[in-house]
Amino acid sequence: MTTYHAALAWVDGVVRQDVTLRCHGDRLSAVDADTQAPPDAQQLAGLVLPGIANAHSHAFHRALRARTHEGAGDFFGWRQRMYAVAGALDPDLYRELAVAVYAEMALAGVTAVGEFHYLHHNLDGRPYDDPNIMGHALASAAAEAGVRLTLLDTCYLRGGFDADLEGPQRRFGDGTPDAWAARASALTDHATLRNGTAIHSVRAVPASAMPTVHALAQQRGAPLHVHASEQPAENSACLHATGRTPTGVLADAGVLGPGTTVVHATHVTDDDVAALGTTGTGVCLCPTTERDLADGIGPASALARAGSRLCVGSDSHAVIDLFEEARAVELDERLATHQRGHHRPEALLEALTTSGQAELGWDVGLRTGALADFVAIDLSSPRTAGATAGTAAASAVFAASACDVTDVVVGGRPLVRGGHHATIDVPARLSGALAAVEEALG
């Protein structure tokens, strides 16, 4: 049984002082504020938050960071490199890159990642001898990096409403929804791995196939994630092909609901917002990627008001700094509306932590019985210095950076201490993996 004592901790939506956190196995057995540090307790300075959830990741996009802005960087160049990397990874290299990326996330305070995984098959599109070898590579990578993984095994069946899979896309496809389900069903959970599901998009999955994905998610009680309305072109293609918005298609197919998370929801109509909110569908915002890809700014506060639980993801990993994602939910909406004050800092902290964890199927929070996953943020860095108990929550959201994470605990055990990963030299691992990707690209 490990015990921690936090100077400040975010408990039940407020910052409390002198909080003792007792762990039993991988869960919290007691959380008590206004306590003296027990003699055996490990001290955590700064502000302790529940573990950060990175609810939307494409690990392999880390190989695109700072490499898609040549000239000034158009969308075509980005997409070309994305497919080139997607076409170059074998299971070993995919694993190696993912270890490094998940370890980078750990340093940034992420204790659980939702990997939207569709690099299923061989470079030529044929299944590997082990048809889940790529998923296993990710699971093994997350285990080595020490973070929980929700493997959102993604159904991807066509290149467009009226187009077959082409080139590297052939790796993504299982052919039929049943073949997808047969493969995805073979994956098994363990303490730090949840097998969830995903529909890539209304473009890549016909409406007729969606109930198959939904059924597997329901059967498992596992999350279902789906990209929707990231860019206007996607909306018009969908309207043209189906007469419905992407959200409308998902609603008709019966896949919305509290177990489902729509990713982006940038270009949604008022009816879409109502459909997502009234069904209790979660929404994952990825603001730094939405900036990088010129997607635009979605109606996050309207979605929250309508009833959607918000969470955040670093998606393409242009940067991995979930504090930047959380504040961008508010700040980008300010840019779009010319008004301040859409989201309380406490709501953004929930999106960053407990809500994101819930969308990934993990029960995390600083309370008895929850998983003992939490992070400490330095409140005496150049960015956060001067924070008090009263301003600590706002400082975490609006001032902190990934580099202010000092300690990360997963399942009661320290994963990051003093800003260093317990077992991995993260920069060295990243440079090794990225050099290997460049070599594979030729």
Residues labelled as active-site residues:
264, 315
Member of 25, 435, 439, 441 binding its own copies (CB under 8 A): 435
Residues 302/342, Cβ–Cβ less than 8 Å: no
The stretch among 4-12, 181-189, 202-210, 377-385 that binds its own copies (CB under 8 A) is: 377-385
- Shortest Å, Cβ 429 to its own copies: 8
Member of 96, 115, 315, 330 binding its own copies (CB under 8 A): 330
d(CA 113, CA 145): 11
Member of 243, 335, 418, 442 binding its own copies (CB under 8 A): 335
Member of 144, 332, 350, 359 binding its own copies (CB under 8 A): 332
Member of 61, 81, 171, 383 binding its own copies (CB under 8 A): 383
- Binding pattern to its own copies, positions 245-264, x when CB under 8 A? --------------------
- Shortest Å, Cβ 249 to its own copies: 22
Q: Residue 39's CB: how many other CB atoms inside 10 A?
A: 6
Member of 30, 207, 398, 440 binding its own copies (CB under 8 A): 398
Residues 332/297, Cβ–Cβ less than 8 Å: yes
Q: Which of 291, 280, 347, 343 is nearest to 314 (CA)?
A: 291
Q: Does 424 engage in binding with its own copies (CB under 8 A)?
A: no
Question: The tokens of 392 are what?
Answer: 């600590």
> Nearer Cβ to its own copies, position 191 or 435?
435
- Binding pattern to its own copies, positions 76-115, x when CB under 8 A? --x-------------------------x--xx-------
Total number of residues that touch its own copies (CB under 8 A): 71
Q: Does 387 engage in binding with its own copies (CB under 8 A)?
A: yes
Member of 270, 431, 439, 441 binding its own copies (CB under 8 A): 431
d(CA 442, CA 208): 40
CA atoms within 13 A on the CB side of 238: 25
Q: Does 345 engage in binding with its own copies (CB under 8 A)?
A: yes
Member of 320, 375, 408, 416 binding its own copies (CB under 8 A): 320
d(CA 342, CA 337): 10
Q: Does 315 engage in binding with its own copies (CB under 8 A)?
A: no
Residue type for 365, please? G
Q: Which of 300, 360, 299 is nearest to 326 (CA)?
A: 300
Question: The tokens of 329 are what?
Answer: 């939910």
- Shortest Å, Cβ 84 to its own copies: 15
Q: Which residues contact 206 (CB under 8 A, 6 or more apart)?
A: 157, 158
d(CA 198, CA 184): 10
Distance between the two ends of the chain, CA-based, in angstroms?
Answer: 50
Q: Does 326 engage in binding with its own copies (CB under 8 A)?
A: no
> Nearer Cβ to its own copies, position 106 or 311?
106
Q: Taking CB under 8 A as the criterion, which residues in 184-223 touch its own copies?
A: none
d(CA 149, CA 114): 6
Member of 34, 39, 188, 340 binding its own copies (CB under 8 A): 340
What's the angle, vertex CA 210, arms to CA 135 and CA 156, rounded to 5? Answer: 40
Q: Taking CB under 8 A as the criterion, which residues in 55-74 touch its own copies?
A: 63, 65-67, 69-74
Q: Does 381 engage in binding with its own copies (CB under 8 A)?
A: yes
Q: At what angle do helices 322-337 and 345-352 cross, to 10 degrees?
A: 130
